[in-house]
Structure 1
Amino acid sequence: MFSIYLVAITAEAMSGALAAGRRNMDIFGVAVIAFVTALGGGTIRDVTLGRFPIGWTQNPEYVYIVISAGLLTTLIAPFVRRLKRLFLVLDAMGLVAFSLIGCSVALSMNYATVVVIMSGMITGICGGILRDILCGQVPVVFQRELYASVALTVCIMFLSLKYLGVTTDIANLVSFMAGLLLRLLAIWRSWRLPTFSIESDWK
């Protein structure tokens, strides 16, 4: 899971840098957005759960990784666009891995089931939400293919397997593969939740 986590924070940092580039931000802006995207979800989770010190403060190498990935993206952006499919796979891996990590953290602190699920979802999606807010747009988590729903499904599956007595390693593996498959199918088939829209002249 640790190696997947490194892939996840790298991929999320790159997605943040690309979002900053679309908003014509300077290098400092790119670094900040990359950092927030990759580590923001875990930070919000730790603050919410009262888990101190916050994870990345004890592992400063994560900061170097995400900022380096963000700045590197500014140099290789044209190639990243051509590798869009690979990048989507890495992003999907990040979503699922972060969700499972969030569940594990809350479980280790003996929180109730609903809190464990929320912890997983916060870790999985909040970095992207912060990225989009800072870039001045409605978070894509709430608009496009199944994303938050994938995080929710992964968390519930993981906890269900644990409840059935499956070992943590197997539960992580099965949930990771199922969540990754669901996310990729959602992208391929453009699966979405029903939308809610009100006409501008509604009174």
Structure 2
Amino acid sequence: MLLHTIFVIALAAEAMTAALAAGRRNMDWFGVCVLGCVTALGGGTTRDILLGHYPLIWVEEPGYLLVTIAAAMFTIAVARVMERLRLIFLLLDAVGLVVFTIVGCQIAMDMGQPAMIVIVAGLITGCVGGVLRDVLCNDVPLLFAGELYATVSAVTACIYFFGVKAGLPVDAVTVVAAVIGFAFRTLAIVFKLEMPRFVYAPVRGNQSSKR
């Protein structure tokens, strides 16, 4: 029950941050709602399609779709206040990342998927919504720009999967995975920790040739 409640809060938070991104690009109200839904539900939808898990999460629970639309529309009314709460939304985004990851792992495990697929399912659920948001906004996805985001999701997924497989109580494993994942993401935000970048600048022409 607690995980489900946090999951719904995370859906709303993801939809609200996406709505702000839509507002910065002067989208209309329909665009705000679409971007909010894609960001909040895109990861779970992608996971379900790839795993053949039907009905899709928001088809099985239409209330999730209503939550994301309502959160996106609410953002339009309170956008000026929300800009002052950036840190809170970053933390809520971190909560959403770990909770979505755990939910994705749970569904894959319930389907009897092997370890690698379970971890990938968690990654997809936690990260793909943000990638879709950035692509629709014509931005380089945050996931590929050095942020410790996918790494946090992968660590959370591994802790959850191997903890459950070890026979530990599921509720305890869920709490431990969520706390460690949230702490990891928060430290990355506070200390601006990033993944190593690959920088490749090809040399044009033969610089060593003599005239």
Smaller-chain TM-score bracket: over 0.9
Alignment partner of 1:35 is 2:37: yes
| 2:14 matched residue in structure 1 | 12
Deviates more, 1:124-133 or 1:70-79: 70-79
Which amino acid in 2 is paired with 1:162? V
Q: What is the Cα deviation at residue 201 of structure 1? A: 5.0
Is the contact made by 2:146 and 2:197 (CA closer than 8 Å) also made in structure 1?
no
Q: Name which of 22, 25, 30 aligns with 1:23.
A: 25
Separation in structure 1 between the aligned mates of residue 140 and residue 65 of structure 2, nearest angstrom: 26
Separation in structure 2 between the aligned mates of residue 131 and residue 164 of structure 1, nearest angstrom: 36
Separation in structure 2 between the aligned mates of residue 111 and residue 42 of structure 1, nearest angstrom: 16
Alignment partner of 1:194 is 2:204: no
Q: Aligned-pair RMSD on alpha carbons?
A: 1.2
Separation in structure 2 between the aligned mates of residue 27 and residue 201 of structure 1, nearest angstrom: 47
Separation in structure 1 between the aligned mates of residue 126 and residue 65 of structure 2, nearest angstrom: 18
Q: What is the Cα deviation at residue 202 of structure 1? A: 5.3
| 1:92 matched residue in structure 2 | 94
Q: What is the Cα deviation at residue 29 of structure 1? A: 0.5
Under a length normalisation based on structure 2, what TM-score does the superposition of the two structures give?
A: 0.93
Is the contact made by 2:146 and 2:196 (CA closer than 8 Å) also made in structure 1?
no
Q: How does 1:117-128 map to 2 (within 5 A)?
A: 117-128=119-130
Under a length normalisation based on structure 1, what TM-score does the superposition of the two structures give?
A: 0.97
Which amino acid in 2 is paired with 1:26? D
Q: Name which of 145, 148, 153 aligns with 1:146.
A: 148
- Local SS of the residue matching 1:83: helix
| 2:136 matched residue in structure 1 | 134
Deviations 1:38-94 (A, max 9, x none): 000000000000001111112111111101101111111111111111111111000
**Where does structure 1 lack aligned partners over 5 or more consecutive residues?**
none
Separation in structure 2 between the aligned mates of residue 98 and residue 15 of structure 1, nearest angstrom: 16
Separation in structure 2 between the aligned mates of residue 176 and residue 16 of structure 1, nearest angstrom: 23
Higher CA-based Rg = 2
**Where does structure 2 lack aligned partners over 5 or more consecutive residues?**
206-211
- Local SS of the residue matching 2:35: helix
Deviations 1:118-170 (A, max 9, x none): 00000000000000001101101111431010000000111121232211111
Q: What is the Cα deviation at residue 31 of structure 1? A: 0.5
Which amino acid in 1 is paired with 2:4? F
Q: What is the Cα deviation at residue 200 of structure 1? A: 6.3
**What is the count of residue pairs matched by the alignment?**
203
Separation in structure 2 between the aligned mates of residue 70 and residue 22 of structure 1, nearest angstrom: 14
Q: What is the Cα deviation at residue 199 of structure 1? A: 2.1
Separation in structure 2 between the aligned mates of residue 173 and residue 144 of structure 1, nearest angstrom: 27
